[in-house]
Amino acid sequence: MKLLAVAGARPNFVKIAPLMREMRSRRGLESVLVHTGQHYDERMSRLFFEELDIPRPDVDLEVGSGTHAVQTAEIMKRFDPVLRREKPDAVLVVGDVNSTIACALTAAKEGVPVAHVEAGLRSFDRTMPEEINRVLTDRLSDWLFATERSGAENLRREGIASERIFLVGNVMIDTLRRHRERSEQSAILETVRVSSRGYAVLTLHRPGTVDQPELLGPVLTAIAELSRELPVIFPVHPRTRRVLESGAGAWLACGGSDIRTIEPLGYLDFLKLLAHARLVLTDSGGIQEETTVLGVPCLTLRENTERPATVEEGSNVLVGLSAERILSESRRVLGGAFRPGRIPALWDGRAAVRVVDALVGRTQRSAFSEAPARVGMPDHAATQPLENIVAEPT
Ligand code: UD1
């Protein structure tokens, strides 16, 4: 069996690492890795390949940045000949970035089955480009691997046959568990001159937050105020840096504030920074999950989340973009009001094993009948059952 795996942007790299490791450990399974080049900076891409031991990509499409339409179309144009040349039995995509939908759509049109890891997450907010990518990728996928129960339930509600839905856990957490101990060797706390639990971490990169000055201004003002009580370490995404350089940076600098802006960090430095933080403020999706596993308080600067398990079970609180709420919730945490919560089911470091087991047919479901018929994959019916990994119908 030949699988073609796709990664394009920073969060994809964290997810693809355990999948590549697992695929390459299986006899009889050939895997090809395609990097779309959506992210290309040293600190947004190459550093992650090195730190996470991701094999060097077999193909680099080098698409770079652009509008959504240009970036998506350019990935499709460049991915199409690769697909025809490699003739994989299936394409594996992860997450919800433009690379995910572009490659899923190209594969589906070529009649190549698609496996989507991190399927079913829904913010129900179509103003988020990622939500559009998620909905469309799931529509096109033959295997849908959900990280949390809500994802499996959303897919069922959308009419996707339960035989295609697998609740497998979270490959991003596979990576966290694998590297957590090693991350302790990072000297990042000394580099940014803070002590354990003596600082907050801030990340902001979503267009919905950073591209609208009327929203960003009050958020940064509130965080500048918070930083008078607790230093705030702010690794700045390239998109956000542009916004700060074009004037928004002034909001960070109210009297007595202590917001330390730094370059984007590699995986190990960032994991250590998160693990020792007193508080994390973010508009990222993945960081909501990582803080849940680390048991660190997370305030999500958005009105919704596609990852409800982090709120219902984990350490995440949705605070939106209101300055008062950001400050009052931060002060509540600093005052000791914090419930560490629990880790969602199957976020145990073995999600990639379950994904690959399902792909090679070692699960009880035999329902991918049209996929094997199209591409001649192994007979799933003759395989070993695995308990507990297939989502129950809702
Ligand atoms: C993308 C994903 C988002 C994910 C984020 C993680 C989409 C629609 N969005 O957003 O879901 O959370 O990645 O970072 O796919 N840039 C660089 N160097 C790079 C990459 C980007 O300077 O290596 C700059 C460019 O100016 C670019 C901008 O960042 O225009 C945005 O990059 P882009 O890939 O379009 O989206 P992200 O905001 O990174």
Condensed to tens digits (0 to 9), the pLDDT of residues 291-346 reads 999 999 999 999 999 999 999 999 999 999 999 999 999 999 999 988 889 999 99
Of all protein residues, the one whose alpha carbon is nearest to atom 27 of ligand 1 is 65
Q: What is the pLDDT at residue 213?
A: 87
pLDDT at 179 over 90: yes
Residue 38 near residue 103, CB atoms below 8 Å:
no
Mean predicted lDDT score pLDDT of the chain: 91
Of all protein residues, the one whose alpha carbon is nearest to atom 32 of ligand 1 is 65
The CB of 130 under 6 Å from ligand 1? The reply is yes
Task: Tell me the C-alpha distance between 240 and 165, whole Å.
Answer: 36
Task: Tell me the C-alpha distance between 131 and 97, whole Å.
Answer: 9
- Which of ligand 1's atoms lies nearest the C-alpha of 129? 8
pLDDT at 365 over 50: no
Mutational test site, ligand 1, from 12, 35, 38, max ligand atoms within 8 Å of CB: 38
- Which of ligand 1's atoms lies nearest the C-alpha of 39? 23
Residue 198, both tokens: 């003596």
Q: What is the pLDDT at residue 385?
A: 31
The CB of 290 under 6 Å from ligand 1? The reply is no
206 C-alpha to ligand 1 centroid (Å): 9
Of all protein residues, the one whose alpha carbon is nearest to atom 33 of ligand 1 is 65
Task: Tell me the C-alpha distance between 108 and 104, whole Å.
Answer: 6
71 C-alpha to ligand 1 centroid (Å): 10
pLDDT band, residue 363 (cuts 50/70/90) = low
pLDDT band, residue 248 (cuts 50/70/90) = confident
Q: What is the pLDDT at residue 362?
A: 64
State the catalytic residue, choosing from 205, 237, 276, 380: 205
Q: In what order do the strands lie in the sheet with 114-117?
A: 59-60, 30-35, 2-7, 90-94, 114-117, 143-146, 165-167
- Nearest one of 247, 308, 357, 297 to 122, comparing CA atoms: 308
- Which of ligand 1's atoms lies nearest the C-alpha of 66? 30
Residue 50, both tokens: 């090195």
Is 205 known to be catalytic?
A: yes
